[in-house]
Amino acid sequence: MAEKRDYYEALGVERSVSADELKKVYRKLALKYHPDRNKSGDAEARFKEISEAYQVLSDPQKREIYDRYGHAGLQGGGFQAGFQNVDEIFSQFSDLFSDFFGFGGASPRGRSGGRRGADIEYPLKIDFLEAVHGCDKEIMVPKKALCDVCGGSGARPGTTPITCSTCGGRGEVIQAQMFLRIRTACPSCHGEGFIIEHHCDRCHGRGFIPSREKLTVSIPAGVDDDMQLRLSGKGEPGLRGAPPGDLYVTIRVEPHADFRRKGLDIISQIAIGYPQACFGATIQVPTVDGDRELHIPSGTPSGKVFVLRDSGVPSVRTGRRGDHHVQVVVAVPKSMSPEETELVRKLAEVQNERVNERGFWRDLVTRLTH
Ligand SMILES: [Zn+2]
Ligand SMILES: [Zn+2]
Q: What is the pLDDT of residue 38?
A: 77
| 111 or 98: which leads in pLDDT | 98
H helical segments located in the chain: 7-11, 19-33, 43-57, 60-74, 86-92, 94-101, 128-133, 274-279, 338-355, 362-369
| 58 or 180: which leads in pLDDT | 58
Q: What is the rounded CA–CA span in Å between residue 138 and residue 216?
A: 4
Pick the closest to residue 146 from 102, 101, 199, 206 (CA basis): 206
- Does residue 100 carry a pLDDT above 60? no
pLDDT tens string 52-99: 999 889 888 888 888 888 887 777 555 566 776 776 776 667 666 655
Q: Please state the CATH superfamily assignment of the domain spanning residues 1-109 in this structure.
A: DnaJ domain (1.10.287.110)
The ligand whose atoms approach the alpha carbon of 111 most closely is 2
Position 104 confidence tier, pLDDT thresholds 50, 70, 90: very low
CA of 190 to the centre of ligand 1 (A): 18
CA 142 to chain centre: 20
CA of 152 to the centre of ligand 1 (A): 6
CA of 234 to the centre of ligand 2 (A): 30
The ligand whose atoms approach the alpha carbon of 186 most closely is 2
Which region among 194-203, 335-344, 351-360 has the lowest average model confidence (pLDDT)?
351-360
Q: What is the pLDDT of residue 303?
A: 92
For the chain, the domains span: 1-109, 117-161+196-254, 260-369
pTM over 0.85: no
CA of 283 to the centre of ligand 2 (A): 76
The answer for residues whose C-beta is within 8 angstroms of residue 77's C-beta and 6 or more apart is 65
CA of 146 to the centre of ligand 1 (A): 8
- Interior angle at CA 304, CA 349 and CA 301, nearest 5: 15
Q: What is the mean pLDDT of residues 230-248?
A: 89
pLDDT tens string 269-305: 999 999 999 999 999 999 999 999 999 999 999 999 9
Q: What is the pLDDT of residue 76?
A: 59
Q: What is the mean pLDDT of residues 93-108?
A: 48
| % of the chain surpassing 90 pLDDT | 49
Burial of 302 (0-12, 13-18, 19+ CB in 10 A): middle
Domain 117-161+196-254 and domain 260-369, same fold? Reply is yes
CA of 161 to the centre of ligand 1 (A): 13
Position 174 confidence tier, pLDDT thresholds 50, 70, 90: confident
Q: Which amino acid is at 236?
A: E
Position 361 confidence tier, pLDDT thresholds 50, 70, 90: low
Position 179 confidence tier, pLDDT thresholds 50, 70, 90: low
CA of 298 to the centre of ligand 1 (A): 77
- 117-161+196-254 folds as HSP40/DNAj peptide-binding domain (2.60.260)
Q: What is the rounded CA–CA span in Å between residue 193 and residue 161?
A: 10
Indicate the DSSP class of residue 7: H
The domain 260-369: what is its CATH number? Answer: 2.60.260.20
